[in-house]
Amino acid sequence: MSNATKALPPETTSDAGRGRSFNARAFLGRFGALLFLLALVIFFTALRPNTFPTPTNLFNIARQASILGLISIGMTFVILTGGIDLSVGSLMALSGIVAAYLYKGGTLLSAGAGATTGIGVVGAILVASLVGLVGGLIQGFVITRFKIPPFIVTLGGMSAFRGLTLLVGNGGPISAFDDSFKVLGQGRLGDIPIPVLIFLAFAVIAFIVLRYTQYGRYVYAVGGNAEAARLSGLNSNLIIMSVYMIVGLLAGFAGFMLASRLNSAEAIAGTGAELNVIAAVVIGGTSLVGGEGGVFGTVIGSLLISVLSAGLTQLNVTSYIQQIIIGLVIVFAVLFDRFTKARRT
């Protein structure tokens, strides 16, 4: 398979094999995450028939998936180029606490104070998104300009952004906002939580961008073979920088949504979030070496992680054991991905 063909989204590759007999390995590779998600729902429903399948619980699971799912969409772009971003949890926390600080008029008010003298809700959303965007831009610039591996740059970013978060919040939370601040994180449109609608909207936009736009083809091309993409005339550095800006922007927006949902911008928010975000993308079938995957799988992966966490919680499994299980699921997902693709490479 040529680099040009390999770099295209899975949906646009050759259809020469359509007339062949059913390929179970290929089917599992394409729909394995969805089948696993359905199996988990059936399993937890059987064990907790009175609590797990209720609309309230399912909407809570979707709400939980939406915030980290937003960052997972951005991480999909990054991993498609063969990169990684370990700083997303810290950047989400920094964005949320800066927005909260300015929303409160630049004063760290005590919990329970409800006055708002700052930049307003729209301003807070824009500030949170801008902080995330700038954070992503800085990391993308360092990665491309100085040729430092993304793992190292974003590991440093994870520590630096967390330190800035603690500095802005003076080591504690900024909380107790008025009702307008809480609409985006706690509100509903009919019965559907607003965060879920926002998550789905961004997922649709990202799907269209990756599948139907020239920029999306460039992202796959850089992930398939960055050097070949450069020699063919693509500005690989610009594409790589842009994907870190995308994940930073979405992490910033998610930071505001989390503060809105919790009615508090926590200095420790997003701790360990990078694990769940990367897990959602990998479980969804995006290759860690880049060039293969998509947003649909990431949405399924995000829901799967949330269903797994909620189901284990209802079964009274401790958070420590949950972390072990999620870690094992990540390893299994990578092994499963290699197994299903072994006959197609």
Say if residues 299 and 293 touch (Cβ distance below 8 Å): no
User: Residue 59 pLDDT > 50, yes or no?
Assistant: yes
| Amino acid 25: pLDDT | 75
User: Residue 212 pLDDT > 60, yes or no?
Assistant: yes
4: confidence class by pLDDT, cuts 50, 70, 90: very low
User: Residue 331 pLDDT > 90, yes or no?
Assistant: no
* Pairing mode, strands 188-189 and 264-265: unpaired
Lowest mean pLDDT among 102-106, 277-281, 303-307: 102-106
| Amino acid 7: pLDDT | 54
Instruction: Give me the mean pLDDT over the 8-36 stretch.
Output: 67
Q: Which residue has the higher pLDDT, 338 or 87?
A: 87
Element (H, E) at 99: helix 88-103
Instruction: Give me the mean pLDDT over the 16-43 stretch.
Output: 79
| Amino acid 116: pLDDT | 58
User: Residue 258 pLDDT > 80, yes or no?
Assistant: yes
| Amino acid 161: pLDDT | 98
| Amino acid 38: pLDDT | 94
Measured between alpha carbons, how far is 41 from 28 in angstroms, rounded to an integer?
A: 18
| Amino acid 110: pLDDT | 43
Instruction: Give me the mean pLDDT over the 248-274 stretch.
Output: 96
| Amino acid 106: pLDDT | 74
333: confidence class by pLDDT, cuts 50, 70, 90: confident
Percent of the chain at pLDDT above 90?
Answer: 72
Q: What is the SS3 assignment for 113?
A: coil
Show the tokens assigned to 248.
């930073």
Tens of pLDDT, residue by residue over 108-133, are: 444 434 455 689 999 999 999 999 99
Measured between alpha carbons, how far is 121 from 181 in angstroms, rounded to an integer?
A: 6
User: Residue 14 pLDDT > 80, yes or no?
Assistant: no
**Average pLDDT of the residues of the chain:** 89
Q: Where are the beta strands (DSSP E) in the chain?
A: 174-175, 188-189, 192-193, 264-265
| Amino acid 323: pLDDT | 85
Tens of pLDDT, residue by residue over 132-152, are: 999 999 999 999 999 999 999
Show the tokens assigned to 176.
């107790």
Measured between alpha carbons, how far is 220 from 239 in angstroms, rounded to an integer?
A: 10
Kindly give, in sequence order, each residue whose CB lies less than 8 Å from that of residue 148, ignoring residues fewer than 6 positions away.
142
| Amino acid 290: pLDDT | 93
182 C-beta neighbours (distance < 10 Å), count: 16
Which residue do the tokens 């700038």 mark?
A: 134
